[in-house]
Amino acid sequence: MTWYWLSFAGDKRWLGAAIVEAPDFITAVHRSHVLGCNPGGEVMGQPFPDGVAPPPEYANRLLTRAECEAFDRAMGGDGALEKVRP
């Protein structure tokens, strides 16, 4: 299983992001639907680097821009978010 960063956009605007664990990207997108953290629109995603996992409070839910920025700080604020952001 791998953690995936999913970013959602629609109507030329960003809708949010979600971090879910799945064996592959397609399953991660499906799981985001099941968990209710997929707002629709287009989705882009990328797996986290090996050995990197999100703090539990950021997993399996839709994240706002402010929460994404807080996540980056929680991961060390050293560009960790850039490694997993599409």
Q: pLDDT, tens digit, for every residue of 21-58?
A: 999 999 999 999 999 999 999 999 999 988 888 989 99
Q: Where are the domains of the chain?
A: 2-50+58-84
d(CA 54, CA 84): 11
What backbone torsions phi and psi does residue 68 show, to the nearest 5 degrees? -65, -40
By C-alpha distance, which of 38, 48, 58, 42 is closest to 84? 48
Question: How much is the pLDDT for 26?
Answer: 97
Task: Tell me the pLDDT of the chain averaged across its residues.
Answer: 88
pTM beyond cutoff 0.85: no
- The answer to whether residue 85 scores a pLDDT higher than 70 is no
Q: Give residue 86's pLDDT band: very low, low, confident or very high (50, 70, 90).
A: very low
